Homo-oligomer: A and B are copies of this chain.
């Protein structure tokens, strides 16, 4: 079992920031990535629709014999994690709980900001996860629909991105947050610019990094760390043709993307 791959899925390229962290933190693990690029984004879609897509993605990754599933998409984690955990035999790790836990560790004043897609913010999942750990925490959440296209456009350091961040984040800063959770797997690409906008007194929490830490800890705890065979190169599956995924995804992965296969999930 331990030599099996870890399955990672996202609506598109964003989850590659999580895959990148997994490769850094647990380099001996084989990884299978699925991006549902024919139906991306999930962030503006309803919960029942995202739930259906998440189940279809999971069924596909199970056919790849994965030992653990990472829902590397905040919207899908917010909407579908409990249901996916209940319905499947393998462990399922989302991106919300690890980020929330880290935010509670680093906040000094108990005022935590959360940024994400419309779907993630509307779900209230971060708020629930943060309050579950510390009921008196003050959570300031903001949906930032322009951050994803800005990251994909490669405009992370453009004045447009800076101005957009000011617009979205000023209300959160006005409420005195000292911690900001990047609640979308696209946002690590904007991290440096966001840190400049919020200033040095606000600590950013990168949910991709925290999720990779949680996966490593879980594998260790369950004696599932691969110690037998060398890690295979990551395998990538998408639901649309690979062109755009390969082109845009390289920036998220931090290296050239190769070996992408198209699969169909509909009706899976």
Q: Which residues of A contact B (CB under 8 A)?
A: 37-40, 44-46, 48-49, 118, 145-146, 148-150, 152-153, 155, 158-160, 163-164, 167, 240-241, 243-244, 266-267
Contacts and interface: CB of A to CB of B under 8 A. Distances in A.
B167 A160 contact: yes
A159 B150 contact: no
A150 B146 CA distance: 7
A63 to B, nearest CB: 20
A265 to B, nearest CB: 10
A241 B149 contact: no
A46 B150 contact: no
A240 B146 contact: no
A160 B163 contact: yes
Contacts of A241: 46, 48-49
A40 B145 CA distance: 14
Contacts of A164: 160
Contacts of A155: 146
